[in-house]
């Protein structure tokens, strides 16, 4: 078990909607403010997507840049973790599945990391999954992952390997063996997504057992399992994540006030179990990121 536990906050994502939580951060200022307030509550890492003001997911470089600039110019030293998830979805047409239907966002892998090259965050996500997601197929081919990984490392950024099922971990292990991904790796185990790892202790124990011995890892759960998986990840020696990207309720039937309230509850859970939260500076040391 790590000496201290790193808490990441995922403040907006691209799936949560304003109808699910009217306080969902959408503008760069709102997203940056949410990250800053969450850092004050105990988050060491801010995992960031960006959106248009009306809540639609965005891939605009200007949105990323303004958001990150606002955080970097604040008094917080929270680590910046930018998503590279947008641009991986293919929706097959009903009459011809070889033709993309509305909702398809699939783009060249370098388009998905152009903001990483430009902004050079501390960390960015690197999805290893190819799986069914709602009405779309999420596609991350090994070749595309290699292209993105090369650009990420060139930017001086650490890839956080997002794994949704055992096959994703096997892909990660193969890419580590090939030298595409560097050691020690950073894994994020995603639980509770349909057709992926279940949000329960058995699934997490199995996923952890597949990781390389030198891996640093974290886990999060979706919806009602968000806080139970905070406890489970801590107990198995992992780091933790919460945020409105993953769950909008602070308890059954009650919307969270904001991301900071979710962070505060996660800190309370880890503290109650005997753990201690890592500061941003301590997280940099744990992850081998320059101060």
Q: Give the domain ranges of the chain.
A: 7-287
Sequence-distant (6+) residues with CB within 8 A of 161 are 126, 128, 172, 181, 185, 186, 187, 188
Q: Within a 10 A sphere around the Cβ of 287, how many other Cβ atoms?
A: 20
Q: What is the CA radius of gyration of the chain?
A: 18
Sequence-distant (6+) residues with CB within 8 A of 60 are 50, 52
Residues 182 and 144: their CA atoms lie apart, in Å, by 17
Reduce the DSSP state of residue 8 to 3 states and report it: strand
Please say whether the dihedral angle defined by the alpha carbons of residues 142, 90, 32 and 25, taken in this order, is positive or negative.
negative
Average model confidence (pLDDT) for the chain?
A: 97
Band the pLDDT of 99: cuts 50, 70, 90: very high
Token couple for 274: 């005997």
Q: Using one digit for the tens of pLDDT, what is the confidence trace for 248-267?
A: 999 999 999 999 999 999 99
Token couple for 277: 């939260």
pLDDT value at residue 199: 97
Judged against a pLDDT cut of 90, whether residue 2 lies above it is answered with: no
pLDDT value at residue 132: 96
Please state the pTM of the whole predicted model: 0.97
Listed in order, strand segments (DSSP E) in 25-179 are 45-48, 50-51, 57-58, 79-82, 89-90, 123-127, 131-133, 136-138, 158-163
Host H or E run for residue 241: strand 239-242
Q: Mean of the pLDDT values across residues 59-86? A: 97
Band the pLDDT of 290: cuts 50, 70, 90: confident
Q: Answer yes or no: are the C-beta atoms of 37 and 110 closer than 8 Å.
A: no
Q: Mean of the pLDDT values across residues 19-41? A: 98
Q: Using one digit for the tens of pLDDT, what is the confidence trace for 109-161?
A: 999 999 999 999 999 999 999 999 999 999 999 999 999 999 999 999 999 99
What is 7-287's CATH superfamily?
A: Aldolase class I (3.20.20.70)
Q: Within a 10 A sphere around the Cβ of 237, how many other Cβ atoms?
A: 11
């Amino acid at each position: 078990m790590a000496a201290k536990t790193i808490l990441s906050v995922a403040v907006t994502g691209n799936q949560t909607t304003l109808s699910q939580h009217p306080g969902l951060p959408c503008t760069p200022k709102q997203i940056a403010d949410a990250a800053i307030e969450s850092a004050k509550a105990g988050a060491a890492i801010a995992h960031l997507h960006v959106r248009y003001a009306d809540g639609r997911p965005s891939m605009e470089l200007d949105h990323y840049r303004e958001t990150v600039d606002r955080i970097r110019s604040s008094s917080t030293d929270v680590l910046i973790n930018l998503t590279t998830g947008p641009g991986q979805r293919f929706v097959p047409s009903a009459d011809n599945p070889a033709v993309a239907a509305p909702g398809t966002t699939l783009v060249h892998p370098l388009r998905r990391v152009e903001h990483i090259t430009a902004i050079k965050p501390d960390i960015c996500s690197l999805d290893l999954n190819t799986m069914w997601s709602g009405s779309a197929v999420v596609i991350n081919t090994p070749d595309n992952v290699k292209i993105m990984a090369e650009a990420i490392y060139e930017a001086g950024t650490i890839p956080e390997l997002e794994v949704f099922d055992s096959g994703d971990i096997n892909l990660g292990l193969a890419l580590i063996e090939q030298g595409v991904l560097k050691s020690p790796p950073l894994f994020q185990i995603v639980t509770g997504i349909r057709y992926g790892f279940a949000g329960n202790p058995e699934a997490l124990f199995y996923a952890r057992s597949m990781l390389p011995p030198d891996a640093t890892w974290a886990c999060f759960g979706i919806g009602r399992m968000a806080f139970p998986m905070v406890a489970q990840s801590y107990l198995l020696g992992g780091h933790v994540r919460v945020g409105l990207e993953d769950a909008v309720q602070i308890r059954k039937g009650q919307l969270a006030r904001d991301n900071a309230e979710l962070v505060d509850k996660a800190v309370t859970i880890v503290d109650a179990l005997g753990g201690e939260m890592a500061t941003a500076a301590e997280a940099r040391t744990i992850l081998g990121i320059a101060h």
